[in-house]
Structure 1
Amino acid sequence: MTTATERRPGELTARELTRWSWRQLTSMRTALVLLLLLALAAVPGSVIPQEGVDSLAVTRWKDEHPKLTPVYERLDLFSVYDSPWFSAIYLLLVISLVGCIVPRLFVYFRAFRAEPPAAPRHLTRMPVHATFRTEQSPAEALAHARQVLGRRHRLRRTTGGDDSVAAERGHLREAGNLLFHLSVLIVLAGFAVGGLWGYQGGVILVQGSTFSNNLTQYDDFKPGGLFTTRQLDDFRFSVDDFRVEWLREGPRAGQARGFEADLSYRRGTRNPDDYTLRVNHPLEIDGTEVFLIGHGYAPVVTVRDGEGDVAYTGPTPFLPQDASFLSFGVVKAAAAKPGQIGLEGLFYPTFEMIDGDPVTVFGDDLQPTLSMLAYTGDLGLDSGASQSVYVLDKSEATLVTGEDDKPFRVDLQPGDTVDLPDGLGSVTFERVEPWIRVQISQTPGKEVALGGVVLALIGLCASLFVRPRRVWVRALASDGTDGDVPTGDGEDTMNGSGGTLVEVAVLDRSGNGETDQVLADLLEQLQEAPK
């Protein structure tokens, strides 16, 4: 009969199970698997629009995929890098790397301080070896060997005898390997610092408008977990001018080749400065960076209600839908009487009719045209609920129709005015203003991450190009009287008379197959006359 304290074969106690789990987690194989999983987990963040990068693109994607949206939201695919499952992989990778690298650092430190191993008893049994005879005495031959090897090798101080020299080189290979893995931790730490203490926001600015760096000015804002409003630097800037260079010929004709915006900015109470904002050339203000990431058009529309009063006027940003800058937008006139007026439709920068279909043939605003449908009634603008400026709530509104009971379409070009049916009012297309989208961010850990990348390159080069080798040289006196049998423990290797028999062996620990050439070069140096 077995007692309760007896264990079955293979059964682990809680302590043993914990130790086994820790060893599995901190193995290099697990670290590589987690690194691969982290790379795969980042793929959705590159393919699917992210809330922290472009909330407008997320809104548009949700409108285009209403069935997939609930699934993606449940899986946090619109905010991949903040999701619990991505954070879990991230933390497990950090723990795995720390548990894998730290013990290896102590092992490497002990190996680095240890002396090269003593020469084997029979060097001629090594895979790569050679022997030669010299007229020098054994002591002179060994002294010459120490001189030659000491130039690029680390010598063994205690040999356990006076007949051999042991040397090795290439400790930096393992140091490079450790540095590479350690740099991964540094890069992860840099990203973590930026994710916790940094922030990122976006805003669309029409030419001529001004932005002040406070939370109310952002269209979307993504703070880090430890972000505080004290991190917001005191500055403001205005968009003075915006220029686009369009491709006029070739297969990409009509697409933007480059664009830039002239800004005037002010730090606190300092004098204003000017800067030309371009793609990949951000404006840096006291640690905060302003990036130019997009542009589009903002038609200036004026809506008058049935009483002739201006219910809405101003530039309205329309969002580009494709490379030709066919853009979608919404105009909301909340102050219109007797009922609110909403317009929803498309903006064509260069309008043309091709085969009976309206299209835009060029991204430049050569023939700007608005084509929108009108709605009246309750658009939900008085409810106080948050509502996207790019979405028109039509659930309680009525589509405006013409005399033929078909939807009334508002088609306008700059300077045109259209009267809405039933005395609802009128819509005027004044002109077109360009807008730019800027990303404003503060990333405190980017220098740490950059340093980690530089260290990774250094460690990778060291691990690839440094060759760890061990070299042994033994010098034995022989009388040459009986088949040249050495007086020590060497083997009968060559015939001749008197002198010193020198045995040389090379061991390459990286297995790169260059030991024959290394041995040949070493023999040439050893056989040279001592200087």
Structure 2
Amino acid sequence: MSIETRPDTPTPPATPDHPDAHDLSVVELLRRLYALFHNKRFGLLLILAMAVFTLVGVLFPQAPGETLADPAVRDAWLDTMRPRYRGWTDILTALGVFGVFGSIGFKVVTILLALSIIACTTHRLPQLWAQAMAPHVSVRDRFFDHARVRATTVVRADAAPTAALLKADLHKLHFRTIADADGTPLYADRNRFAPFGTVVAHVAFVVILAGVFVTTTFGFRADDLSVPVGSRIEVGRGTDLSIEARSFTDSYNPDGSPSDYVSDLVLYADGQQVAEQVVRVNAPLRWGGWSLHQASFGIAADLRVTDAAGAVVLDEALPLQYQLEGRYAYGKVEVPDTDLLVYLITPASGQVVPDIPAGKAQVEVYRGGTDTPVFTTVMTPGEPVDGVDLTWTFERERQYTGLMLSRDPGGPIVWTGCALLAIGTCWTMFLRHQRLWVRLEAIPQGTRVTLASPDRHDSIFARQVHSFVAGLGDTDTRKK
């Protein structure tokens, strides 16, 4: 023997103290990770996780990403959810149900799923390439007896001219042929790159997931911007943008439903005007990657607050954008440099309530962290009222326009992925890789020709094969 064996010196088994027990090369680690990511069960687990995140995000309202980052805006948004979810609101908030698509878990699953698709695709690519460029052409005789599609005929000619004519006829039908050393065709196929349509579709999914990740990480959306007509508000939330509403017009159908509402808006960046446009629901203002959409409209109340010296503490048009029991409309604001939180309440549109006469407004003032108002009164427009060492004046009502501001840097990426997905789907659906194996047998009557394919059943392809083979047998001019 060339290798000497020594039974008396066995190789010691790996133990925790043995250096080989914990040594794992970088290459081996990467190989195992690659095997994990192209594992079908792991991929299915990631798809299920993505499905769960998506289902939760669809079933429950999702707060815009910047809303949850600002405590005051978050609390105001959650107040709109409490009538629906009541005591569950805080629990659902703690579980992250209202911010699924911006959560770390969703982003991690998105990245892992993209890596899994890449791994599965690259794992399958060599097989697809070999099938297209160097297919297996030699098969056993029993293959021709059990293939899904098979057809046989007899050509009254010798093997050589039959092979030449068979090859020529297959070329006319756009088949590629592969022959043995003496020119006898053994294999034919067409649309050999059709399976690569699945690769394009998989790449499309990765591109779409990349776009989703970019949007959820770097995008912006605020759908609760209320701008009273004739005023200008700061967007805040990490931006240098502000919006001015010059005018607002609404029109209605005969049945009372709104037919159109239009805002004349001006957009400022860092205090400088950068864009202006008349904005409708389907005609947003676009500038520098930002989109400003018309979303809603309603009534705002002008509230003026002064201190004992007559200095203005607060002068703001307060949008009455929240509803209470469908009977009241209200807005809220914090008085600067105090711990006072003010609620201004009026009857909702079309409602008559006994405690607040039409045209008047009720003000309720709370100190931070308390549930009992320290001051409450019903105010008449233009008549000052004193309370908690301040003077309160409800001046008038005016319209406000509700806007949605967004920035979607992943949008072009997602649309590119959608285009690739459409191409890959059509490629896969309308181009089929059609394969045929050929057997020629010399018999006294001439040459027996058998064509067979193991591909899944395709009735059109099967009819074409049978018609082609029947044509070979019926043509006497092929006889030499």
Q: TM-score surpassing 0.5?
A: yes
Which category describes the TM-score, using the shorter chain as reference length? 0.7 to 0.9
Aligned residues of 1:303 and 1:426 also touching (Cα < 8 A): yes
> Which residue among 447, 459, 465 is the counterpart of 1:519?
465
Tell me what 1:5 maps to: 13
* Residue number among 461, 464, 472 corresponding to 2:437 in the alignment: 472
Map 1:42-441 onto structure 2 (within 5 A).
42-46=54-58, 47-52=60-65, 54=67, 58-60=74-76, 62-63=78-79, 64=82, 68=88, 71-115=91-135, 117-118=137-138, 120-121=140-141, 125-127=145-147, 128-201=149-222, 203-210=225-232, 217-221=234-238, 238-246=244-252, 249=255, 256-264=258-266, 274-303=276-305, 311-321=313-323, 327-330=329-332, 343-353=342-352, 369-375=359-365, 379=367, 393=368, 395=370, 399-400=374-375, 408-410=376-378, 412=380, 415=381, 417=383, 419=385, 425=391, 427-441=393-407
Secondary structure of the residue aligned to 1:350 is coil
On the 8 A contact 1:296/1:319 being kept in 2, the answer is yes
Shift of 1:528: 7.3
* Aligned AA (1:291): H
Could you tell me which amino acid in structure 2 is paired with residue 328 of structure 1? Y
Partner residue of 1:454 out of 419, 422, 440? 419
Say what the alpha-carbon RMSD is for the aligned residues: 4.4
* Residue 411 to residue 297, structure 1, CA distance change in 2 (3 Å): same
The alignment partner of 1:150 has SS state of helix
Distance of aligned partners of 1:238 and 1:471 in 2 relative to their CA distance in 1, 3 Å threshold: same
Query: Structure 1 residues 431, 70: CA separation in 2 closer, same or farther (over 3 Å shift)?
Result: closer
Tell me how far 1:189 sits from its aligned partner.
1.9
Q: Which residue of 1 aligns with 2:5?
A: none
| Cα 1:169/1:122, change in 2 over 3 Å | same
Pair 477,44 (structure 1): closer, same or farther in 2 beyond 3 Å: closer
- 1:243–1:260: 8 Å Cα contact kept in structure 2? yes
Distance 2:190 2:395 in 1: 78
Check 1:243–1:159 CA distance in 2 against 1; reply closer, same or farther (3 A cut). farther
Contact 1:242 1:262 in 2 (8 A): yes
Q: 3-state SS of the aligned residue for 2:409?
A: coil
The residue identity in structure 1 corresponding to 2:378 is V
Contact 2:439 2:450 in 1 (8 A): yes
Aligned counterparts of 1:45 and 1:30: Cα–Cα separation in 2: 23
| Offset at residue 149 of structure 1 (A) | 2.0
Distance 1:421 1:267, change over 3 A: closer
- Relative to structure 1, the CA distance from residue 82 to residue 424 in structure 2 (aligned partners, 3 Å threshold; closer, same or farther) is closer
Measure, in 2, the Cα distance between the counterparts of 1:308 and 1:271: 33
- SS of aligned partner of 2:63: coil
Structure 1 vs Structure 2: percent identity of aligned residues? 18
Q: Partner of 1:220: helix, strand, or coil?
A: coil
Q: Does 1:509 align with 2:450?
A: no
Q: Quick one: distance in 1 between partners of 2:203 and 2:116?
A: 12
In the TM superposition, what whole-angstrom CA distance separates every residue of 1:196-247 from its partner, at most 9, and x where no partner exists?
A: 5544456432223346xxxxx32435xxxxxxx8xx7xx8764232233445
Q: Which stretches in structure 2 are left out of the alignment for 5+ residues?
A: 1-9
Query: Tell me, what secondary structure is at the counterpart of 1:146?
Result: helix
- How many residue pairs align between the two structures? 450
Q: Secondary structure at the match of 1:428?
A: strand
Relative distance call for 1:302 and 1:38 in structure 2 (3 A) is same
Quote the offset at 1:34 in angstroms.
0.4
Q: Shift of residue 454 of structure 1?
A: 1.5
Structure 2: distance between partners of 1:243 and 1:368:
23
Match for residue 39 of structure 1 among 48, 51, 63 = 51
Distance across 1 between alignment mates of 2:439 and 2:343: 91
| One-letter identity of the residue aligned with 1:52 | G
TM-score normalised over the length of structure 1: 0.69
Distance change in 2, residues 1:80/1:161 (3 Å): same
1:298-335 per-position Cα deviation (integer Å, ceiling 9, x unaligned): 11234466777765433112223389795321255569
Alpha-carbon spacing, 1:133–1:112, altered in 2? closer, same or farther (3 Å): closer
Q: Hey, what's the Cα distance between the residues in 1 that align with 2:287 and 2:43? A: 39
Q: TM-score, normalised by structure 2?
A: 0.75
More contact order relative to length (CA 8 Å, sep ≥ 6): 2
Conserved 8 A contact 1:351-1:369: no
Decide whether aligned partners of structure 1 residues 515 and 456 sit closer, same or farther in structure 2, where only a CA change above 3 A counts: same
Letter of the 2:413 partner, please give it. V
Instruction: Give the AA of the match of 2:365.
Output: Y
Q: Which stretches in structure 1 are left out of the alignment for 5+ residues?
A: 212-216, 222-228, 359-366, 380-392, 401-407, 480-497
Query: CA offsets, 1:108-159, max 9 Å, x none?
Result: 2232211461465467524432333334553333333223322455423332
